Amino acid sequence: MGQEIERKFLVVGDSWRRAALGEVMRQGYIPTQDARTVRVRQVGDLAYLTLKGPAVGLVRPEFEYPIPVEDAQVILETLCTPPLVEKTRYRLPLGDVVWEIDEFWGDNRGLIVAEVELTSPDQAVDLPEWVGAEVTYDPRYQNSNLARHPYSTWGT
């Protein structure tokens, strides 16, 4: 069984940009019940269907499958609830982990979040100076919630 174990943080400053490589992503969510998530993601000429179950602490079941880009485009435009989540994901290896920094665009412009995937929930990780407040347990920062309640609407 696949699983996701990650911690999520707000990003402060720009010092992370010097060594990070980015790729543009579009993703959408098909409505589900409870804490289950069905996501379609397009990254350049690749696309994926991802299924996620409810989290228990930091651990969440996750299954991801490649799908044809043409199918992903149709699903994003016809089956996913708008707005789509648009972002540039930067990858930055530091020590034993790879940080993923998501700079959001569109309705979530202005939000920058860093994630680090872990091998176990109790794995220690050194936090770089550009890591701010931890938002792992704040559901507003889940991408599926950013699709339903974009960052641009939080002040209202």
Average pLDDT of 36-44?
Answer: 95
| φ and ψ of 105, to 5 deg | -125, -175
| Catalytic residue status for 90 | no
Number of compact structural domains in the chain: 1
Pairing relationship of beta strands 85-94 and 97-104 according to DSSP bridges? antiparallel
Query: CATH code at 141?
Result: 2.40.320.10
pLDDT tens digits along 112-134: 999 999 999 999 999 999 999 99
pLDDT tens digits along 56-76: 888 999 999 999 999 999 999
Per-residue pLDDT at 21: 82
CA dihedral 77, 71, 151, 123 (to 10 degrees): 170
Whole-structure pTM value: 0.91
Full residue range of the structural domain in which residue 35 is found = 3-153
Neighbours of 24 (CB within 10 A): 13
Q: Supply angle C-alpha 153, 34, 59, rounded to 5.
A: 95
Q: 29, 65, 137, 151: which one is catalytic? A: 29
If pLDDT is split at 50, 70 and 90, which confidence band does 18 have?
A: confident
